[in-house]
Structures are given as C-alpha cells and as structure tokens.
Amino acid sequence: MFKAVVTTTGRTGPEAGPSAPVGGDTRRMTDERSIDAAQLSELTTTDDSVVPRASTRLVWMLFLCSVGILALTIRRGEPWTGVDYAVVDGLTAVLWVVVTFFSGIVHSYSRRYMAGDRDLERFFARVFAFTLVVMVLTAADHIALFAAAWLAMGLLMAALIGHVRDWEQAQAAGALARRYFVASSAVLAGSLALLAWESGTTSIAGILGGLEAVSPTIGLVAAGGLVLAALIQSALFPFHGWLLSSMTAPTPASALMHAGFVNAGGVLLTRFSPLVADHLAIMSAVVVLGAVSALLGQAMLLVQTNVKRKLGSSTMAQMGFMILQCGLGFFAAAIAHLILHGFYKAYLFLSSGAVVEEAAPKSTAKHAGHTEFGFSSAVVSLLTAVGGGVLFGALTGKATGLAFDSGTILTLVVVLTTLTAARDILNRTTLPRAVRFVSVPLVVLTAIGGYALLYNAISAVVPSAMTHASTDVTIAHGLVAALFVGAYVATEFGWHRSSERLYVSLLNLSEPDSATVLTNKEEYKDV
C-alpha cells in the first residue's frame, strides 16, 4: 500500500504487477487498470493526517516508558502492585518493551506503506488500540480484565485481517479468524471462571497462590482449557487454518500478527505456569502438540510457493517450538524464543515485497536444489552442532551429563537446529571453502550463545515461579525425541521427496479456506 502513482500503463505503486496477489496487499491490487481523478481521490488520503503521526509518536513514547519501567522493575526486585486489578512484574515489563518496540516499527513502516489507503486512520487506530490492549493483557491481575483483553486483542486482529471492506476475500478471512478468536476467548473465560469459583478469588495472583485449594479435577480441566486457548491463538495444529487464511491482511498487520499476536499462547501458559506445570498429563500433552506442530509447520513450508504462506508455515513451526518449551517446563526459554522470533519474523514480513520483486527463476542446479555437500562440510556441520549443544548446556545449566530429562530434549532440539542451520549455510554460501569452514561455525555458535544469554536474562527478570518447572520424563518425551531425530534423518536423506502421498497431504493441510483465496485476477482488479 503505497502512494498511488498514475502511469501510462495504469499501474499504481512501485510493486504493482502479477506478484501483488502473493503478498495480499490490497491497494496494490488496483493495478492493470486506469484510474481517473475521482477514483484516485477516493483511494488517497492526505499526508498530514493526524492519526498516523500521533499514534506513531505515542507508541514510541510508550516504548521509552516501558524501557524505564523495566529498568526500575529490575532495580526494585519486586512487582508493582499499587493499581487495582493490575500487577507490573518482570514478565509484564519485558513484554511491554517487546510489544511497544514491534508496534513502533510497524507504525513507522506503515506511515509510508499505507499512504494512499482510504481507511488509513482506521488502520492506525486499530494498530494502536491493539498495542494498548496487549499491554493491558500482560498486566491484568483480574480474570475479567484478562479475559476481556484477550477477546479485544482477537477482535482487533480479525479487523486488521479484514481491513479492506470491499474485498470479499478479506472479509471472509477476517470472519474466519474472528470465529477462532471468539472460541479461544470463550474457552479461556470458562477456565478462568472455573478457577475463580473453586478458589474463591478473582485475582490471578490469588488463584495461583492458592492452588492447594483447587481440586485436582478442576485444576486439570482448567489447565486443559488454558492450553486449548493458547493453541488456538498461536495457530498450532489443528487450529492453523486461520493463520494460513489471513494473507489478505496488509503486510504491516501481518508483521504485527506473526511477530506479536501469535505469541499470546506462550504468554498465557507462562503467566499460568504454576497451574499448568502442576499436571504432568497436561505438560506431556503440550510437549507432543508443540512437537507435532513444529514438525508439520516445517514440512508444510517445503511445499509452499507463496512467500507469505511460507512465512505463515514457518510461524506455525516456531510457535510449535515455543509451546514445546513450555511443555518441557522452560517457560523463560519460551519467552526468549518468542522475542527472537518476533524480531526475525517482523523483518521477514516487512521485507517480503522486496524478496518477491528481486526473485527470478533460474534453472541452475545450485539455485534449484543444493550445492555439493561433501564429507568435510558434513564434519564441520556435525562439530558445529555438538559445539552448539555444549555451549547452550554450559551457558544455561542444562548440561546434565547422561541423564535423560526435559533439559536433554531441549538441548537435542538445539543440536538438531544447529546442525540443520550449519548444513544449509555451508551448502548455499558462495564463500571460499576455507573461509566458510571457519566463519559459518562462528556465526551459528554466536547465535546459539545469544539465545542462551537471552534465556538467562529472561530467567533473571521474570518471577521465579514462571522461569522453570521441573517435569518428570514420560513416554511422550521419548516419542518427541524420536520424532525429531526421525524427521531430521528423513530430510537429510531426502526421503520426503520420494512420496507423492506425503506431498499431497502437506498441500492439503496447508490449504487456506477457499473463500479467502483469490483465484482470478478479475476478482481483485475492481477493488
């Protein structure tokens, strides 16, 4: 969504053309037709609109205030509880900094990107309102306020997905997302009401501090409801349909969605970690569901040709890893993961237009597949992966020797991720052999070290009850370990490419709702 520029070909904006539907950016879909003065006037707005400027400045002011609050919270060493129904603790302060920073980036980016949109003020008002609602959610200490903020967050995101009122596909996508979010809110509200009724208090801190008064059965049902609400909001399997059908959202809204909104599941489980971690069956189920979603999302990514659906599948995989970490009891690791994923995914979405514009089909083997991956590269990748696991274990204290526990599973995931990353970088880089054999391990190990240090920093700031919960090892943990190793071996040897049935199944799983898909250019030329 750029300023409309009328040319002799009738195209508008610097990215108009056949690739526009891939990004789902509706104002670019006014290309390939002439625009008269009246239509141009309807589509454009003035550059001096007060709402974009005011909301952008306000959100950056909120960011600076959040940084100050985080510093004061760390120095104070205890939460701020002076306001009724709200508590500002370490988790709240960290999330405020993250949310306002991402929102500031989206606001600043949208000042130019959304110029020319006839509903510019409405877009900025919703993005700013979304930011405020998320801030309220992370600080809420009353179940009614928490549930209301959760619902408002979903409704605002659904409105951003269906931003273009005249585009039927956008409205269908927004309506689909809204149904998912309302269902998630209903499950959450029911679980919180059940806990309040059983514990005799409506304060979240009071509920979590008096879990001994909650019967095991009620606690199990409530914890299951919270997990279900988290799975829906974070678009994990089998609730990923709304995310893959949301590509009608303007790209800045998609960035906010994938960098922030879907992280709500991890935030919810972390906030209620004392309750969730108290039930081994729930934690084991979360481990399995997270692992399955992570592997499915990664597999679905391989069969996508649409850049934003690739990113959507990637988000599903990353949210699976985040929820998996919660199931393993490493809630601080989940918060660190969502922060790093937010930075990465926001960048990818905001730069997705440039990726599409610069890409060109090539028939060379190097572009289409892999470069030669010899024995030396395999050894370097393996050593880098082992080094990554050792580094992560040493920095986070997860080095448990030969003992098989939840820390072993987390370290195994780190090792396999490092192995895959090192192999891919070595396989695709054009650097001389000697240079890449030194530089690639350094880059990958630096990234692993950064993740471990962020994990330690989050653990030091977040309340101790939310950092780590020791969980017993069950058959679910062994199953997850086998799934990850099996998936890596199958991918490494290319077994997944030999199955047409698998390819079709992955395509079917990753299909968005048909009502949200543009199948004919005539459907969007007149938007």
Average pLDDT over residues 188-200: 93
- Quote the distance between the C-alpha of residue 466 and its chain's center: 20
Average pLDDT over residues 487-509: 79
Q: What percent of the chain has pLDDT over 90?
A: 29
Confidence of residue 16 (pLDDT cuts 50, 70, 90): very low
User: What b/e sequence results for 81-93 when a residue is b if at least 16 CB atoms lie within 10 Å of its CB, and e otherwise?
Assistant: eeeebbbbbbbbb
User: What integer pLDDT is reported at residue 17 of this predicted model?
Assistant: 34
Structure tokens at 117: 């949109």
The type of residue at 315 is: T
In Å, how far are 6, 35, 36, 119, 518 from 10, measured between CA atoms? 6, 7, 10, 22, 21
Q: Which of 295, 336, 297, 326 is nearest to 479 (CA)?
A: 295
E-only strand ranges, 309-415: none
Rg (CA), the chain: 24
User: What integer pLDDT is reported at residue 18 of this predicted model?
Assistant: 32
241 and 182 in contact (C-beta within 8 Å)? Answer: no
Q: Which of 242, 274, 282, 317 is nearest to 467 (CA)?
A: 274
As a residue count, the chain comes to 527
Q: Which of 160, 115, 112, 159 is nearest to 256 (CA)?
A: 160
Q: What percent of the chain has pLDDT over 70?
A: 82
User: What integer pLDDT is reported at residue 369 of this predicted model?
Assistant: 39
Average pLDDT over residues 189-204: 92
**Residue whose structure tokens are 């959450």:** 188
Q: Which of 160-164, 182-186, 359-363, 502-506 has the lowest mean pLDDT?
A: 359-363
Residue 292: beta bridge partners? none
Residue 398 has pLDDT above 80, yes or no: no
Q: Which of 231, 221, 309 is nearest to 269 (CA)?
A: 231
pLDDT in tens, 330-341: 898 889 888 888
User: What integer pLDDT is reported at residue 26 of this predicted model?
Assistant: 40
Average pLDDT over residues 139-164: 93
Average pLDDT over residues 432-460: 83
Residue 399 has pLDDT above 80, yes or no: no
Is the pTM above the cut of 0.85? Answer: no
pLDDT in tens, 266-316: 999 999 999 998 889 999 999 999 999 999 988 888 888 777 788 888 889
User: What integer pLDDT is reported at residue 372 of this predicted model?
Assistant: 46
Query: Which 8-state DSSP code applies to residue 80?
Result: B
Residue 45 has pLDDT above 60, yes or no: no
Cα-Cα-Cα-Cα dihedral sign, residues 170, 176, 180, 182: positive
User: What integer pLDDT is reported at residue 32 of this predicted model?
Assistant: 34
Position with higher pLDDT, 347 vs 319? 319
User: What integer pLDDT is reported at residue 48 of this predicted model?
Assistant: 55
Question: SS3 for 245?
Answer: coil
Helix/strand/coil (H, E, C) string of 151-183?
HHHHHHHHHHHCCCCCCHHHHHHHHHHHHHHHH
* Spatial separation of the C-alpha atoms in residues 510 and 243, rounded to whole Å: 10
Residue 103 has pLDDT above 90, yes or no: yes
Which residues have a Cβ under 8 Å from the Cβ of 93 and sit 6 or more positions away?
A: 66, 69, 70, 73, 74, 461
Question: SS3 for 37?
Answer: helix
User: What integer pLDDT is reported at residue 39 of this predicted model?
Assistant: 41
Structure tokens at 504: 């079709």
Residue 353 has pLDDT above 50, yes or no: yes
User: What integer pLDDT is reported at residue 29 of this predicted model?
Assistant: 39
467 and 413 in contact (C-beta within 8 Å)? Answer: no
Position with higher pLDDT, 10 vs 97? 97
Confidence of residue 360 (pLDDT cuts 50, 70, 90): low
Position with higher pLDDT, 253 vs 39? 253
Our CA angle for 137, 185, 259, nearest 5°, is 55
Confidence of residue 134 (pLDDT cuts 50, 70, 90): very high
Question: SS3 for 77?
Answer: coil
Confidence of residue 212 (pLDDT cuts 50, 70, 90): confident
What separation, in Å, do the N-terminal and C-terminal C-alpha atoms of the chain show? 13
Average pLDDT over residues 366-386: 66
* Spatial separation of the C-alpha atoms in residues 230 and 370, rounded to whole Å: 37
In Å, how far are 32, 247, 326 from 26, measured between CA atoms? 13, 10, 37
In Å, how far are 99, 153, 346, 356, 503 from 304, measured between CA atoms? 29, 29, 19, 14, 11
Average pLDDT, the chain: 80
Confidence of residue 166 (pLDDT cuts 50, 70, 90): confident
* Spatial separation of the C-alpha atoms in residues 509 and 166, rounded to whole Å: 29
Average pLDDT over residues 199-217: 88
Residue 122 has pLDDT above 80, yes or no: yes
Confidence of residue 220 (pLDDT cuts 50, 70, 90): very high
Calculate the CA dihedral of residues 329, 452, 349, 351 and round it to 10 degrees.
180
Q: Which of 143, 140, 160 is nearest to 247 (CA)?
A: 160
Count other C-beta atoms under 10 Å from residue 40's C-beta: 15
In Å, how far are 147, 296, 496, 501 from 505, measured between CA atoms? 36, 11, 12, 6
In Å, how far are 63, 109, 132, 150, 231 from 104, measured between CA atoms? 8, 8, 12, 21, 27
DSSP secondary structure, 388-451, as one string: HHHHHHHHHT---TT--SHHHHHHHHHHHHHHHHHHHHHHH--S-HHHHHHHHHHHHHHHHHHH
